Amino acid sequence: MPTIWLDGKWYDRETAMVSVYDHGLLYGDGVFEGIRIYGGKLFRLAEHLERLYDSAQAVWMTIPLAREEMAAVTEEAVRRSGITEGYIRHIVTRGVGDLGLDPRKCPRPSIIIIVDTIKLWPEEVYETGLKVVTAGTPIPQRESLSPRVKSLNYLAHILAKIEGVQAGADEVLMLDSSGSVAEGSGQNIFIVKRGRIATPPPFAGILKGVTRDVVIELARGAGYEVQETMLNRYDVYTADEAFFTGTAAEVVAIRQVDGRLIGAGKSGPVTRDLRARFQALVRS
Ligand code: PMP
């Protein structure tokens, strides 16, 4: 059953409420994480919590709970929920303040942990691949709001997602404001060309995905060459294979980008191999 921990108390979906004066709601002033539960175990909990605390640090926010306590209460939330295949959302908002921007009016950040399930696409998509279009909305400027911060400001990514929906696509490819390939609306992108794998580096203005890092590690361990390099749409259009990675998305093939079929127009051998390795790892 969905289980929610909010500032020290337990709730369910219907009873968990936040204040309308919470700056997370008023201004998107907060940070978050998403973690998978596989077979009752939390996948890469330490990495996700490290990113959560780093995101908070980057926006001058002190999470009023030590990392070990956060890990313990997260584990307890999963146990209480009884969910063994699911998804955890951590949210830390600036907390309740007044109607001004000033975070000094928010004495204490609020912590929310939601344990629930998630399913982005039907199972067959992992074989047929996603239809993707490039969004006109670029990712936010690197030096304005660092994409390394997983903040509650997701509007650019949501606008891009809506563009994809309007175009009848499954997902979108987001570029930076100079036209380099960045990421999906909530995924990192990889391409495969002549057996070599490439993905944009963190400095391209992407979120440094935990799944991305796991897939790079798995690929290198399996003997693939992986380059972290700037990519243009040309590189994606002419790739033999392309795929997205993400906590919710896992490893998912891309069939088509802006009307160009990618490779054979379905999940390719490298994508399939890496997906299988990823599935084996999360179950290990
Ligand atoms: N980019 C963005 C913008 C995201 O929201 C996500 C999902 N957290 C990712 C990439 C993938 O990151 P991860 O593998 O850590 O889920």
pLDDT in tens, 208-255: 999 999 999 999 999 999 999 999 999 999 999 999 999 999 999 999
172 in Cβ contact with 165 (< 8 Å): no
pLDDT of residue 209: 98
pLDDT at 83 over 90: yes
Shared domain check, 42 and 79:
yes
Please name the amino acid found at residue 204.
A
Shared domain check, 144 and 246:
yes
pLDDT of residue 142: 82
pLDDT of residue 143: 83
From 91, 116, 141, the end of a domain falls on 116
The kind and range of the H/E element at 211 are: helix 210-221
pLDDT of residue 188: 98
Alpha-carbon gap, residue 277 to 282, rounded angstroms? 9
CATH code of 269's domain: 3.20.10.10
Shared domain check, 91 and 157:
no
Tell how far CA 195 is from the center of its chain: 26
Between 142 and 116, whose confidence is greater? Answer: 116
109 in Cβ contact with 92 (< 8 Å): yes
Confidence of residue 200 (pLDDT cuts 50, 70, 90): very high
Confidence of residue 262 (pLDDT cuts 50, 70, 90): very high
Domain total for the chain? Answer: 2
pLDDT of residue 191: 98
Longest alpha-carbon distance in the chain: 56
Shared domain check, 151 and 106:
no
Shared domain check, 172 and 276:
yes
> What does pLDDT average to over the chain?
97
pTM of full prediction above 0.95: yes
Active site residues: 150
| Substitution site in 54, 206, 247, 282 for ligand 1 pocket (most atoms within 8 Å of beta carbon) | 247
CATH code of 53's domain: 3.30.470.10
From 76, 97, 116, the end of a domain falls on 116
pLDDT of residue 235: 98
Shared domain check, 137 and 70:
no
Separation of CA 211 and ligand 1 centre (Å)? 8
Separation of CA 98 and ligand 1 centre (Å)? 31
Shared domain check, 237 and 130:
yes
260 in Cβ contact with 181 (< 8 Å): no
Q: What percent of the chain has pLDDT over 70?
A: 100
The residue range of the domain holding 240 is 125-283
Shared domain check, 143 and 107:
no
Contact residues for 48 (Cβ-Cβ < 8 A; gap 6+): 33, 34, 35, 90, 210, 247
For ligand 1, what atom is nearest to the CA of residue 249?
16
Shared domain check, 269 and 193:
yes
Separation of CA 99 and ligand 1 centre (Å)? 31
From 64, 98, 116, the end of a domain falls on 116
